Amino acid sequence: MVNLGDEFPNFEAETTVGKISFHDWLGDSWGILFSHPSDFTPVCTTELSRVAKLVPQFEERNVKPIALSCNSISSHLQWIDDIKSYGGLSIKNFPYPIIADESRDLAVLLGMLDPVEKDSDGLPLTCRSVFIIDSAKKLRLSILYPATTGRNFNEILRVIDSLLLTDKHKVATPVDWEKGGDCMVLPHIKSEEAKELFPKGFSSVIVPSGKAYIRITPQP
Ligand code: BEZ
């Protein structure tokens, strides 16, 4: 189990682009590692195709995607043709690697195994985990979805935008925030300091408690 802020394990893995050592593969980039229950399943096919289309948006943010399931490389490679066909992707090379964790060692290490879903041999499938790892190799976000619910990768990009912004500025992003939207001054910042930090100003929302803790500022 890796907690937020922990260094993400530096594992070695067989992937559709050859063997990788995870930290070397990341280099100076951020990474999104996402697992899926199995190759040749409908929801997973929609997800991997969506991520392939979003690769330029991940690249813009200096984030490298990598997928994982417990199937073999040959299965992944055959499935990639279906993913490309489903998504109408006219590309020769699939734009991100898929890890083949046939031994399930990585899935166990990273707490990815689904307690309910089993493959045809009765072995546990991986659930839909999402890990976002920063350029210092620290885990910054972890979400677990059930097999029956496909992920929303727009939300993942939104979180990355929030992480990149809040790493740089002393703000937090409110509910349903989107890039460019108003932000919250961090609670521990004193108003005197906030005046210096946020030249565009900030306003406090008046609430019954009389406490000025909801302070809104334009996105720095
Ligand atoms: C799917 O990807 O469609 C799926 C995989 C396992 C269980 C349910 C759905």
Res 98: pLDDT: 98
Structural domains in the chain, CATH included, are 12-153 (3.40.30.10), 169-217 (3.30.1020.10)
pLDDT score, position 117? 81
- Cα(104) to centroid of ligand 1, in Å? 18
**Residue closest by Cα to atom 9 of ligand 1:** 148
Q: Retrieve residue 42's tokens.
A: 């409908």
Q: How do 63-69 and 30-35 pair as beta strands?
A: parallel
* b (16+ CB within 10 A) / e for 124-144: bbbbbbbbbbbeebebbbbee
Residues of the chain with pLDDT under 50: none
117 lines ligand 1 (CB under 6 A): yes
Whole-number pLDDT of residue 161: 98
37 lines ligand 1 (CB under 6 A): yes
Q: What is the DSSP letter of 206?
A: P
219 lines ligand 1 (CB under 6 A): no
CA of 192 to the centre of ligand 1 (A): 53
Instruction: Indicate the top mutation candidate among 34, 36, 38, 43 to test ligand 1's pocket, ranked by most ligand atoms within 8 A of CB.
Output: 43
> What is the predicted pLDDT for the residue at 118?
85
| pLDDT, tens digit, 9 for 90 and up, residues 32-77 | 999 999 999 999 999 999 999 999 999 999 999 999 999 999 999 9
For the entire predicted model, the pTM comes to 0.95
pLDDT of residue 119: 84
- pLDDT (0 to 100) of residue 125: 85
* Ligand 1 near 124 CB (within 6 A): no
Structure letter (DSSP) for residue 163? H
